[in-house]
């Protein structure tokens, strides 16, 4: 190893590819080559890199056989993406069927698919919107079922219904009072009272008014 | 449209096939990739930007090669070891011709064994002579990234012990340091770094 240090060799060897690509400035190139003349190890590394790059750049560009492209051209000629259209199975070829349409006038190419889609849409709409034969039975069952369910529900007399309405009105009154009491304006600010306090006050007042009503309190 | 398509395939076929061949080092796989690329070209013919057709094709080829490498079984890796030596041997000197062929072949195998994107960038830049602009367009990288990967890939190749040993035994003492930076000189001889242009 000559007088150059290992770190210098390291940095010079990092520049080999830049030198080979012509990316170094003139002064850098001169320093690079002067180091190469002094250091045999770096010169060997440079020769290796140079030989390798020369060899790679001399690789010939290759071309594939025309046969490789033949199926692709057939595919393109057929105008289909799957490639199966060019295959003939037992004398049947899809190309023979579609070729008249592809070569025909534009309106003929699109009229048949449009007609087919229209027919399909009509058939689907008929099958969807025409009621089935068992529909009335289902409707009858649907109309009968609520009556049976209502018959199974518990029956209430007028007094019970009146009591329930009174309880409901009482509950509404509680809620209205809560709404009034929670908003207490103090100066410019609203003070929100705790909800539980409001509820308790409502219950106490209701209890003093009518003991029975508190027992049926819906809240 | 069909005529334009055929023209495009004729124009880019060699580039795609070469890229696939030097990436995969197997003729059949390279043919498969070439077919795959041009089928996709046909399928996307209406959608692609034809001003950037070359870059689009290289990107598709790059992805197809990656797919093939993933699918490739290890046993198949070296089947095509000695294929195409004859067709590669046109520009060598008579002296040391076999050695150079062997070195070239080992170098191809070493390139094939590189990971991506090192392999693709070395094939695109050093083998095919594509410009940095084409490569960055194809791979979606910046020019500085491409250069970094290129130099790292070359260093990986130089780290190949078989190549180095063979070089030291056969070429190391014969050649002298050439003061010309051969890569840039060769590229400037071609049309802006593109062998195909």
Query: Is A114 a residue whose pLDDT tops 70?
Result: yes
Residue A82 φ/ψ, nearest 5 degrees: -80, -30
CA–CA dist B186, B12 (Å, integer): 22
Residue A198 within any structural domain of the chain: yes
Residues A181 and A201 in one domain: yes
Average pLDDT over residues A204-209: 74
Residue A199 within any structural domain of the chain: yes
Please give the residue of chain A at the shortest CA–CA distance from B157. A52
Nearest to B158 among A48, A55, A63 (CB): A48
Residue A143 within any structural domain of the chain: no
Residues A48 and A92 in one domain: no
Residue A51 and residue B167: Cβ atoms within 8 Å?
yes
CA distance A20 to chain B (A): 4
Residue A17 and residue B107: Cβ atoms within 8 Å?
no
A53 touches chain B (CB under 8 A): yes
Say which residue, A160 or B100, is predicted with more confidence.
Answer: A160
Query: Is A8 a residue whose pLDDT tops 90?
Result: no
Average pLDDT over residues A37-53: 89
> Which of B1, B127, B181 to probe by mutation at the A interface, max A CB count within 10 Å?
B181
Say which residue, A91 or B165, is predicted with more confidence.
Answer: B165
Chain A partners within 8 Å of B167 (Cβ): 48, 51-52
CA distance B22 to chain A (A): 9
Residue A61 and residue B196: Cβ atoms within 8 Å?
yes
> Which of B12, B183, B185, B188 to probe by mutation at the A interface, max A CB count within 10 Å?
B183
ipTM over 0.95: no
Residue A151 within any structural domain of the chain: no
| Mean of pLDDT over chain A | 72
Domain count, chain A: 3
Give the Å distances, CA to CA, from B63 to A135, B19, B127, B130: 57, 12, 18, 17
Instruction: Delimit the domains of chain B by residue range.
Output: 2-80+95-175
What residues make up the domain containing A49? Answer: 6-57
Residue A74 within any structural domain of the chain: yes
A41 touches chain B (CB under 8 A): no
Residue B185 and residue A43: Cβ atoms within 8 Å?
no
How sure is the predictor about A109, in pLDDT bands with cuts at 50, 70 and 90?
low
Residue A69 and residue B38: Cβ atoms within 8 Å?
yes
Residue A62 and residue B21: Cβ atoms within 8 Å?
yes
Predicted pLDDT of residue B162: 87
Predicted pLDDT of residue A88: 40
Residue B35 and residue A47: Cβ atoms within 8 Å?
no
Predicted pLDDT of residue B180: 60
Residues A173 and A201 in one domain: yes
Average pLDDT over residues A142-165: 76
How sure is the predictor about A172, in pLDDT bands with cuts at 50, 70 and 90?
confident
Residue B122 and residue A56: Cβ atoms within 8 Å?
yes
Tens of pLDDT, residue by residue over B12-62, are 888 999 999 998 888 888 998 998 899 888 888 888 888 888 889 999 999
Residues A44 and A70 in one domain: no
Residue A16 within any structural domain of the chain: yes
Predicted pLDDT of residue A61: 83
Predicted pLDDT of residue A102: 57
Residue A136 within any structural domain of the chain: no
Residues A46 and A71 in one domain: no
Tens of pLDDT, residue by residue over B130-177, are 888 889 888 888 999 999 999 999 999 999 888 888 888 876 655 555
Residue A142 within any structural domain of the chain: no
């Amino acid at each position: 190893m000559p007088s150059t240090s290992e770190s210098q060799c390291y940095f010079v060897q990092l520049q080999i590819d830049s030198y080979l690509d012509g990316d170094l400035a003139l002064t850098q190139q001169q320093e690079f080559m002067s180091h190469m003349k002094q250091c045999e190890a770096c010169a060997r590394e440079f020769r290796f890199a140079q030989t390798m790059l020369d060899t790679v750049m001399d690789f010939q560009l290759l071309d594939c056989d025309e046969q490789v492209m033949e199926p692709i051209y057939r595919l393109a000629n057929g105008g289909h993406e799957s490639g199966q259209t060019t295959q003939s199975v037992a004398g049947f070829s899809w190309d023979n069927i579609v070729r008249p349409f592809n070569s025909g006038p534009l309106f003929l190419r699109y009229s048949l698919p449009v007609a087919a889609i229209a027919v399909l849409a009509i058939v689907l709409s008929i099958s969807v919107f025409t009621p089935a034969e068992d529909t009335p039975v289902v409707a009858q069952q649907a109309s009968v079922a609520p009556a049976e369910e209502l018959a199974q529900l518990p029956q209430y007399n007028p007094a019970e219904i009146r009591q329930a309405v009174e309880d409901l009105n009482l509950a509404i009154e509680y809620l209205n009072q809560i709404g009034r009491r929670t908003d207490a304006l103090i100066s410019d600010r609203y003070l929100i009272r705790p909800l539980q306090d409001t509820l308790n006050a409502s219950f106490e007042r209701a209890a003093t008014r009518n003991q029975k009503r508190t027992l049926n309190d819906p809240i | 449209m069909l005529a334009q398509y055929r023209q495009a395939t004729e124009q880019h076929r060699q580039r795609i096939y070469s890229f696939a061949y030097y990436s995969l080092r197997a003729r059949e796989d390279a043919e498969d990739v070439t077919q795959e690329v041009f089928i996709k070209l046909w399928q996307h013919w209406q959608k692609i930007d034809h001003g950037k057709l070359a870059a689009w094709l290289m990107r598709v080829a790059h992805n197809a090669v990656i797919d093939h490498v993933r699918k490739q079984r290890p046993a198949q890796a070296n089947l095509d070891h000695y294929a195409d030596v004859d067709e590669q041997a046109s520009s060598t000197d008579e002296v040391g011709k076999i050695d150079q062929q062997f070195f070239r072949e080992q170098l191809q195998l070493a390139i094939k064994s590189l990971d991506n994107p090192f392999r693709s960038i070395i094939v695109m830049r050093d083998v095919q002579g594509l410009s940095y602009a084409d490569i960055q367009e194809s791979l979606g990288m910046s020019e500085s990234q491409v250069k970094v990967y290129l130099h790292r890939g070359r260093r990986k190749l130089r780290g190949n012990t078989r190549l180095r040993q063979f070089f030291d035994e056969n070429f190391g003492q014969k050649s002298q340091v050439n003061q010309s930076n051969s890569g840039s000189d060769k590229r400037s001889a071609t049309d802006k770094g593109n062998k195909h242009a």
